[in-house]
Chain A
Amino acid sequence: MTNNLTQTNTDFFLDKIENLVKFAVKEGATQAQIYILNSDDFSVEIRNGKIEELNKSISANLALKILVDDKVATASTSDFQISTIEYLIKNAIKRAVYSEPDEFSRLSDFVTNEFNPEELEIYDNEIENLTSDYKINQAIELEKIAMSDKRIKLSDGSFFGTNISEVFVANSNNLLGSFKSSSIGAGVHLHSGDDDNMIEDGYWFNAVNLNKMMSIEEIAKKAIYRVTRLTGARKIPSMDLPVIFEAGVASSLFGFFAACISGSNIYMKRSFLADKLNQQIANNNLNIIDNGRLKGAVGSIPFDSDGVPTKINKIVENGILKNYLLGTYSARKLSLKSTGNASGPTNFIVQNGPFTQSELIKSIDKGLLITSTIGQGTDTTTGDISKGTFGLMIENGELTYPVSEITFSGNLGTILNSIEMIANDAEQNRSIKSPSIKISNISISGR
């Protein structure tokens, strides 16, 4: 029954956007594209055993792009009255006159309508079937398990949420596609330590399939581990040290790297990696792929926001930059082909190395394991990076004491070239997946 309704719904929207594209062309658009995102969200936050906030809603948004002789206008709306949508289309056709011709902005050429989203396994109806009570109880239980550890002083809340989304796209180049996806997530944030030196940290996990979801016991355990290991953290003097970026921190570092190779930053010269294609930009132990087709993975999508099918792209091979992340527009600007990344990185995967994290630690006489960072402090143009830092001191190959209120700073280009060792501990629940990495030397500022 549920399936039937869903089917009808999907067909209804596909029919609707196809007609809207036809309407736009009839009204004078040279090209037109319509994109709809429907989203069904549930989230619950628990604090001290009680619901603090429960959100449950269905939302929809429609985005359109119109070209009149290579002149572009765009619009979006959450008001789905047909009169509003038709007004926005007509007005976009009028507004397009005011843009200047830009042949690069034409819609992507037709590739396929055979997207086979089922193959990606990013929709799990078991997530859709979970009851509100189940989700509330999971969140309550998660907080309870975390708080049962005597070292935890305060709960900053636990969270449990689900999302079911459906995307529809159609354009005047005969593109017509849709896909449905699901996600489930849970986490808890905790405080430990004394009043005058409180530490906070937590753990959060998400998945697109219920059977890949981490148990709440495991999430609680990780959150407790993360916060208690920092209890009593202190400041250290400024010095240069070898460091290990723990998997989670390395993932955000490679998130910054992904921004540095995004097409728009490349053609706008807002990246230190512009003009570096096919050059050695990292130590030769670094290999990265972007894989939008990975089965059951959080970053997988059948097509990007241009309607271009995703694929597996080599990004870095033995330290050589092989591809930028390109959508249709930036690809044309750079005389390259779209990599299906108009929506950004998909599953951006730093290949595991041969070592365990403890082997990385053992290799260091005096250094730092960076476990979390705080703040912005990144510049894609120069590659400079500087962030507030928390972590654990390494002495004679062993973790000794926790540190905080320090910063690390360096340059991404230098960091990539100083990757000495890569561990094998990448976390699977992120779209940017990186294992822990060891950097030979970095500036730490403290006392």
Chain B
Amino acid sequence: MYKNFGLDKKIFQDILMVALKNGGDFADIYFQYSFSNSVSMEEDIIKSTSESISLGLGIRVISGEQSGYAFTNNLSIEKLIETARTASIISKTSKKNLSFNLNEKHISKNYYGLANPIVKASLPSQIELVQRAYNSAKKFNKNIVKTSASLSSQLSYVTIANSEGLLISDERPQMRLVVSATAFDGKNHTTSLSNNGGRYGIDFFEKYDTPENIGKRAAEEATILLSAKNAPSGEFPVVLGAEESGVMIHEALGHPLEADSIRNKTSVMWNKFGEMVSNPNVTIYDDATIPYYRGSLNIDDEGYETENVLLVENGKLVGFMNDYLSAKLLNHKRNGHGRRESYQNIPIPRMNNTVLAKGNYEPEEIISSVDYGIYAKSFQGGMVNGTGKFTFSLNLGYLIENGKLTTPIKNVTLIGTNLDILKKIEMVGNDMGFFLGTCGKQGQSVAVTSGTPTLKISQMTIGGSNDE
């Protein structure tokens, strides 16, 4: 794709040389051309369609532990050279220039559905998918008063060139269908969202999930919420359902194992390598190579081939997620976790698809082991700080009474400290579900998923109400 914009191997080579003129240790180029479509339906009509193009090129120079970054939307040679010079201002050594030759490499394994990307499908066929999802939610029952649905799809072409001679391109599809449903019972309103998608082609909606099911899930949940009560307040056993509870692992363990916070010692995990950080029933990995998943990548945004990275093995901390710089400074092996939101951003260590591996318990067995507690069904999201305090917020949950799910409960935040909670994972189920998310870190958003089986945490603080 870069050739369509007047770029070639020689230009990349020349720009990298300019970037290293002040004596940096490493330089790379990230070229991106993305086009996106979205179709949205609200109040029974297709309100608008939109199309967007994102074009630009970012240049990074690393000198020791320092990184300089600059990008441009204008791909003229003069602007590219100026951008390379700007990126190089952090480096002021008189080291001899590196010598290298760019060698164009090709992607060896493809994890995307590139045959029929939705972004290239006809507008009427995209509209039809949105209408199907919308109508399914709207007509679910008479309580549903407002619905919206939107389909967004993208195809992103990226090329990475670096001063180690790498030149590699990747063509990345992404799509997501989102439905929002608002229910009303004559007195109260409730809203729920549902979504599905990933790096699939248009066959996703035949093979994996239908627009009707996505719409129905939002409407069903909004309806259940009409009868939901406030959660109780205090410390209780918590069963995390398999559907979306991956959020917990993403916050509690994923972020603290991103290697930038390890090398900066801002993660509570920085000195725990080789130690037991969880019960032995817990194994966690981050796998960017699951075919078609929202968080999957063929190569990371530094051009490194992705892999399945083991993080916690039977409770023991065995791995971190590294980008180029963290791996170098920590003297670790790279493992393909350098990601960025776009050409406007520097790559940093990020998650892809973070998974807590299946255990042996039947989900029903786990629920029935709880006398009184909380069952988590769907989530708004979560957050963690460097010291390991993390929260996640439920959109819908249930009370567990005498081993059975009873009253639905609404909007509640759970809080814990990761080192404490990981040791309280008592039971691990034999099922599995994935949360589709967009993770924000240092102002950059990237697509991720996180998966868990049904889990039991012996005790966690529930931010409910004290009066009920």
Contacts and interface: CB of A to CB of B under 8 A. Distances in A.
A402 to B, nearest CB: 13
A129 to B, nearest CB: 18
B129 interface: no
Given A75-B52, A382-B411, A54 B189 contact: no
A72 B47 contact: yes
B387 A200 contact: yes
Number of chain B interface residues as a range: 35 or more
A235 B145 CA distance: 42
A91 interface: yes
Contacts of B388: 198
Contacts of B148: 268
Contact of B413 (A76, A102, A239, A387): A387
Determine the main DSSP class of A at the interface with B: strand
A186 interface: no
Nearest to A379: B411
Contacts of A238: 233-234, 466
B86 interface: yes
A88 B265 contact: no
Interface string B224-253: 000000100111000000000000000000
Interface residues of A, number: 76
A377 interface: yes
A80 B348 CA distance: 28
B233 A409 contact: yes
A34 B464 CA distance: 47
A79 B386 contact: no
Contacts of A152: none
A446 B411 CA distance: 17
A268 to B, nearest CB: 5
B290 interface: no
A74 B393 contact: no
Interface string B241-275: 00000000000000000000000111010000000
Nearest to A383: B411
A259 B415 CA distance: 24
Interface string B399-436: 00000000000111111110000000000000000000
Contacts of A386: 393, 411-413, 463-464
Contacts of B204: none
Contact of A51 (B90, B461, B463): B90
Interface in B374-391: 380-383, 385-391
Interface string B428-468: 00000000000000000000000000000000011111110
A445 interface: yes
Contacts of B389: 374, 388, 404-405
Contacts of B52: 75-77
B42 interface: yes
Contact of B391 (A98, A102, A382, A407): A407
Interface stretch (B9-17, B71-79, B195-203, B315-323): B71-79
Nearest to B348: A53
B349 to A, nearest CB: 14
Given A95-B123, A98-B127, A270-B146, A50 B65 contact: yes
B49 A98 contact: yes
Contact of B190 (A378, A382, A408): A382
With most chain B CB atoms within 10 A of its CB, the pick from A132, A274, A379, A445 is: A445
Contact of B235 (A59, A105, A199, A447): A447
A270 B410 CA distance: 15
A268 B55 contact: no
A388 B465 contact: no
Q: Is the interface of B mostly helix, strand, loop or mixed?
A: strand
Contact of A78 (B73, B268, B464): B73
Nearest to B147: A268
Contact of A57 (B42, B70, B414): B70
Nearest to A101: B45
Which residue, of A102, A268, A270, has the highest number of chain B Cβ atoms within 10 A? A268
B392 interface: yes
B467 A375 contact: no
A376 B463 CA distance: 12
Given A379-B411, A407-B415, A443 B467 contact: yes
B352 interface: no
A240 interface: yes
A132 B89 contact: yes
B182 A268 contact: yes
Nearest to B191: A381
A239 B465 CA distance: 9
Interface in A122-173: 132, 154, 156-157
B64 to A, nearest CB: 8
Contacts of B344: 57, 59
Interface in A95-109: 95, 98-100, 102, 105
B386 A375 contact: no
A408 B64 CA distance: 44
Interface in A211-270: 235, 237-240, 268-270
A389 B52 CA distance: 39
Top 10 nearest A-B pairs (CB, nearest first) are: A407-B463, A375-B391, A388-B391, A79-B55, A100-B45, A445-B233, A377-B393, A377-B413, A386-B413, A384-B411
Interface of A: 47, 50-60, 72-80, 84, 88, 91-92, 95, 98-100, 102, 105, 132, 154, 156-157, 191, 198-200, 235, 237-240, 268-270, 272, 274, 374-382, 384-389, 404-410, 443-447
Interface of B: 33, 42-43, 45-56, 64-74, 83, 86-87, 89-90, 123-124, 127, 145-146, 148, 180, 182, 184, 188-191, 230, 233-235, 264-266, 268, 344, 346, 380-383, 385-393, 395, 410-417, 461-467
29 contacts: A50-B64, A53-B67, A56-B86, A56-B89, A57-B69, A57-B83, A72-B48, A73-B51, A75-B52, A75-B53, A79-B54, A98-B124, A99-B47, A156-B266, A191-B387, A239-B466, A240-B466, A270-B146, A376-B383, A386-B463, A388-B389, A389-B415, A407-B414, A407-B462, A409-B412, A443-B465, A444-B466, A446-B461, A447-B461
